[in-house]
Amino acid sequence: MGKHETLAAALAAFQMKIPNVAKGQTADVRSKNGASYKYDYADLSDVTAAVLPLLAAEGLAWVTVPTFSDDGRWMLEYQLLHESGQSIPGVYPLPDPTRTGPQDMGGAITYARRYALCAVTGVAPGGDDDDAGSAQRAGATSAPPPVQAPAAPPEPPADWQDRISAATSQQELGQIYTAATSNGWMNDHVFAALTARKQEVTSSGSDEPADG
């Protein structure tokens, strides 16, 4: 047995020295209505380079496997494993592979791997508050509220940036988040843009509750 007898003890030790994951990627978003802003985000390589060696030092390993569920749905299985044999398993839904290309599917798997790793270990790349400073708005927009995405699109709708720019409350952003995750078009860019816009809405004094 290693230095920690249980997974919980090993994870607690990891979280005592949880790394500060730098956001090494920058995206510049310009919507059709003329609004523009930038945001920083950490991709999968940023996160794994900082996190996996520290997990291994505590006797923990991270495993992800794209597979099908019993009912035929495509998903990513993941496990945080401890040398004791204990584990934290889970699944993350993926887009229908028959309705998307290999490149889009690869992007969805990459996003799912990063999102699940951060969620299970407690890592927050850059810290949520840092997103407020990274989003630079070029001007307000009076576009209508976002609407639900069509059922199960293989990739983000063409106007996803406009929808996020037009959102003026955390509730509206929560609706976009729900549509993106349930219909399979969530990816690094969509998630980072939602996070950045949420910080802008919060900073502007919106008192509507967050939706997730």
Q: Which helix (H) or strand (E) holds 174?
A: helix 170-183
* Spatial strand order in the sheet of 60-68: 60-68, 74-82, 87-93
Q: With respect to residue 2, please indicate whether it lies within any of the assigned structural domains.
A: no
Which residues are CB-contacts of 155 (< 8 A; sequence separation ≥ 6)? 95, 100, 104, 185
What pLDDT was estimated at residue 32?
63
Is 69 within a domain?
yes
- For 9-37, write each residue's pLDDT tens digit: 999 999 998 887 766 666 666 666 666 66
Q: Does any domain span residue 212?
A: no
Query: What is the pLDDT, as a whole number, of residue 135?
Result: 37
Distance CA 39, CA 105 (A): 23
Range in 3-7, 38-42, 184-188 the model is least confident about: 38-42
Of the candidates 170, 61, 36, 42, the one whose C-alpha atom is nearest the C-alpha of residue 110 is: 42
- Is 157 within the bounds of a domain? yes
With cut-offs at 50, 70 and 90, classify the pLDDT of residue 182.
low
Residue 210 lies in a domain: no
Section 142-169 average pLDDT: 63
Q: Please tell me the distance from the alpha carbon of residue 77 to that of residue 64, in angstroms, as a whole number.
A: 6
Is 147 domain-assigned? yes
**Cα–Cα distance list, 145 to 81, 150, 167 (Å):** 43, 16, 6
Rounded to a whole number, what is the distance in angstroms from the first to the last CA of the chain? Answer: 39
Query: In the chain, pLDDT over 70 holds for what percent of residues?
Result: 71
Q: Is the pLDDT of residue 148 over 70?
A: no
C-alpha dihedral, 70 to 73 to 76 to 79, nearest 10°: -20
Q: Considering the domain boundaries, does residue 84 fall inside one?
A: yes
Residue 88 inside a domain? The answer is yes
pLDDT value for 37: 64
Give the pLDDT confidence of 59-101 residue by residue, as tens digits.
999 999 999 888 888 899 999 999 999 999 999 998 887 777 7
Residue 206, pLDDT score: 53
Which residues span the domain enclosing 14?
Answer: 7-203
Q: pLDDT averaged over the chain?
A: 75
Total of domains in the chain: 1
